[in-house]
Amino acid sequence: MWNSFRRTLALMHKEFLVILKDPRSRVLLFLPPVLQCLIFGYAATYDLNTVPYVLVDQDRSAASRAFAARLDGSGIFTRVASTETTEAAADSLLRGRAVLIVTIAADFEKRLVAGQVGRIQVLADGRNSNTAGVAQGYVASIAAAFGQGWRASQGLANQAVQVTTRAWYNPSLETRWNMIPSLIGAITMMMTMMLTAMSVAREREEGTFDQLLVAPFRPTEIMIGKAVPSMAVGLLQSSLIFLVALFWFRIPFAGSYAVFYLGLILFLAAAIGMGLFLSSIARNMQQAMILSFVLLMPFMLLSGLMAPTENMPAILRYFTKINPLQYAITITRRVYLEGATLGQLLPDMFALVVIAAVTMPIAAWFFRNRLA
C-alpha cells in the first residue's frame, strides 16, 4: 500500500512539473479563464441599455407628445427618426437602424380623455427575438405608468389593479448575475477536460508512453496520478473565476463555501473521467483536442448556460441528464445566488457521482487494455 502511494505521488509530482514548468503554460492555464470571465461578463449580456426606435405620431396632441417624452426620458429609448406613417418607418427597421416602431394612434388623446384605453402599436424587429421581447416589455411598462399618471392628472379614477413586481435572487435583473456563476463550471470544464484529454496523448507524442509500460505503475495509479493534478488545476481556475465574480463584478455570494466546493469537486471528478477516457483512446494531441471539442460543444449547448433546458425538445432533455456541465451550472447558480443547501442539491450531486462512477471505470478499463 505504501509503495503504491509513493508511486502515485511520484507520478502526480511529474504531472505537476509537466503542467507548470513552462512559464507560458502557467500563463495560459490561469490567464484565459479570467479573461473569458471578464469578456462574458461585459459582452455576453441580454440587458438592454439602448433601444433605438422610430416614432410615428399620428395624433400630434399634448398626450402623444407627453408619452413620447416619457419614452425619450427613460434613459433606454433613443429616437432615431420621426415619420408620418408606419410604412415610412419600416426602412429603419429593415436596415437595422431601429429595434422598434412605436405608432401612436390618431385618437390617442381623445380616448384617454373619454376614460378609454389609448392605443399604441409597437412593431419589433423579430430577427433578434430576445431583444424584441425585452424592448416590447419596456414599452408596455412605460405605457402603463403613463396611463396611470395621465388619468390621475386629469382627475379620473385610477386603475383598479396595480401590479408590483420584484425579482428574487437577482433584484436588478442583470444578465451577468446569471452568467458569471455559470461560467465557473463552463470554463473550468473546458480547460480541465482538454488538459486531462491531452495528458496521455502527450506521452505518446513525446515518446515517453513506453516508459510507463516498463515502469512499475498500475493502471489505477496512472489514472490517479494524472487525475489529481488536473483536478487541482481545475479547482484553482474555478476559484479565480469565483474571485472575479465576487470582487470584480461584486455579485454577492449567498451560499455555503463547503457546499459550493463539494459540488465543484464532484463535477471535476466527472469531467476528468471523461477527459481520461478521451486521453486513453486518442493517439496524439491533435486527436485529443479534436475529440474534446466534439464533446464540449454539445455539452455547452445542452447545459442551460445560454438557454433553459426546460425549453428544449423532449428528446434533447434526455441527453442533458448525462451532461455533467448541466448539473454543475445548476449547483453553482443555486449555491451562489439562492444559498441552496446540501439537502436541496443532493439530486444534482448524486447525478455527478453516478457520471464519475461510470466514466472512471471505463477509462480505467481502457488504460488496463492499453498498458497490458
The pLDDT-based confidence of 160 (bands split at 50, 70, 90) is very low
Give the range with max mean pLDDT: 18-32, 136-150, 195-209, 348-362: 348-362
> Which run of H or of E encompasses 225?
helix 219-243
Name the band, by pLDDT with cuts 50, 70 and 90, for residue 335: very high
Residue 98, CA distances (Å) to 93, 123, 125, 130 in order:
5, 10, 8, 15
Flag the least confident range among 86-95, 199-208, 210-219: 210-219
Say whether pLDDT at 347 is over 90: yes
Mean pLDDT within 57-68 = 88
Q: What is the pLDDT of residue 161?
A: 45
pTM of the complete model: 0.78
**Euclidean distance between the first and the last CA atom of the chain, given in angstroms as a whole number:** 21
Comparing 155 with 121, which gets the higher pLDDT?
Answer: 121
Q: What's the whole-number mean pLDDT along residues 61-76?
A: 88
Give the confidence band of 288 by pLDDT, cuts at 50, 70, 90: confident
Q: How far apart are CA 219 and CA 364, in angstroms?
A: 7
Residue 159: its pLDDT value, please?
54
Average pLDDT, the chain: 82
Contact indicator for 108, 64 with CB cutoff of 8 Å: yes
Q: Nearest CA to 230 among 173, 280, 190, 283?
A: 190
Query: Using a CB cutoff of 8 Å and minimum separation of 24, what contacts does 247-251 make?
Result: 248/38, 248/41, 249/41, 249/176, 249/180, 251/176, 251/177, 251/180, 251/181, 251/336, 251/337
Out of 218-222, 262-266, 286-290, the most confident range is 262-266
Is the pLDDT score of 77 beyond 70? yes
CB atoms within 10 A of CB 81: 16
| pLDDT at residue 370, rounded to an integer | 59
Among 83-97, 215-229, 234-248, top mean pLDDT goes to 234-248
Higher pLDDT, 92 or 157: 92
- Stretch among 50-59, 116-125, 197-206, 276-285 having the lowest mean pLDDT: 197-206
Look at 359 and 3; give whichever has higher pLDDT.
359
**Per-residue pLDDT tens digits for 125-157:** 876 667 788 888 888 888 888 887 777 776 666
Q: What is the pLDDT of residue 345?
A: 93
Q: What was the pLDDT predicted at 109? A: 85
In terms of phi and psi (left: phi > 0; alpha: psi -120 to 50; beta: otherwise), the region of 256 is beta
Residues 6+ apart with CB under 8 A from 349: 262, 263, 266, 327, 331, 342
The per-residue pLDDT for 253 is 93
